Structure 1
Amino acid sequence: MMPKVSEQAIAEYDAVAAGLESAGVVRGSMFGMPCLKIGKKVLAGMFGDAMTFKLPPEPREKALALPGVDAFDPGMGRPMKEWVVIPLAQSAVWPDYAAEALEYVAG
C-alpha cells in the first residue's frame, strides 16, 4: 500500500520534475508510484512524502549520511540495491540527487 502524499511533497516533486524536463526527463509510473524517466530507465520516484533516487555508490553513501535517509525498500522487505529514499524534510537536496541520478542512469 502506498503511503499518503502531502501537497507540499507533490509541489516539491513537481519542481524537481520541471527542472529536469529540458534534459529529456519525462513523468511516468513504476509499481503505481509517480516516477521520472529518461528513455525507458527510471531515475527517481515519489514514495509518500519522500523521493527515491537511483544513485551510484559515492552519492548513495553521501545521501545515506543525511538525517532520515535510508535504503529504499518498496515494501517487499528487501531494499533495492542502488536506491535511496530521501524524506520531505530533506527536500532541499532533491534537485541535487535528481541530477546525480539522471547522470548515472543516462550515462
Structure 2
Amino acid sequence: MSDAQAEYEKLVNKLTTAASAEPGQMFGKVCLKINGKAFVALHKETVVFKLTGDAHAKAIALADAVLWDPSGKGRPMKEWVALSATHGKKFPTLAQAAFEYVQSMA
C-alpha cells in the first residue's frame, strides 16, 4: 500500500463513521461522497480535495500541491487540490473543509 493510499484509508475510516460519507467512484478513482457528490479522492500517489476559499488557498500554497488533472490532458479542475502523503497531517482538516463545502452545495 502506498503512503497516499494509507492516508486515504485513514480518511475513509474516519469520515464514513463520523460524518456519514459514502465510498464511491469518480472518473474511475475511489472517492468519498456526501449526498452523491465527491469531496475527497485518491489518484495515483496523491489525495485530492474539493476546496474553496481559504481552505483552497492554504492547500494550493503547500509544497508540491497542484490542481488535479484527472485526465492528464492539461485540463485541471480548479476546485480540486492534489497533495502528496507528505502532507498527511493536514488531510483531516482539509477533508473536513471539503466535506462542509460539498455538503453546503446540496
After TM superposition, the score normalised by the length of structure 1 is: 0.88
TM-superposed CA distance for 1:90, in Å, is 1.1
SS at match of 2:8: helix
Q: Which residue of 1 aligns with 2:14?
A: 19
User: Runs in 1 of length 4+ with deviation above 6 angstroms?
Assistant: none
TM-superposed CA distance for 1:10, in Å, is 1.9
Q: Is the aligned partner of 1:62 residue 2:34?
A: no
Give the alignment partner of residue 81 of structure 1, picking from 78, 82, 86: 78
2: CA distance between counterparts of 1:94 and 1:29?
A: 19
1: CA distance between counterparts of 2:48 and 2:6?
A: 15
Question: Cα RMSD over matched residues?
Answer: 1.1
* Count of residues paired in the alignment: 102
Aligned ranges for residues 40-51 of structure 1 at < 5 Å? 40-51=36-47
Q: Is the aligned partner of 1:71 residue 2:61?
A: no
Letter paired with 1:52: V
Aligned 8 A contact 1:57 1:82 in 2: no
TM-superposed CA distance for 1:11, in Å, is 1.9
1: CA distance between counterparts of 2:33 and 2:7?
A: 17
| Higher strand residue share | 2
What stretches of structure 1 of length at least 5 have no aligned partner?
1-5
Q: Percent identity?
A: 38
Q: Is the aligned partner of 1:9 residue 2:4?
A: yes
What stretches of structure 2 of length at least 5 have no aligned partner?
none
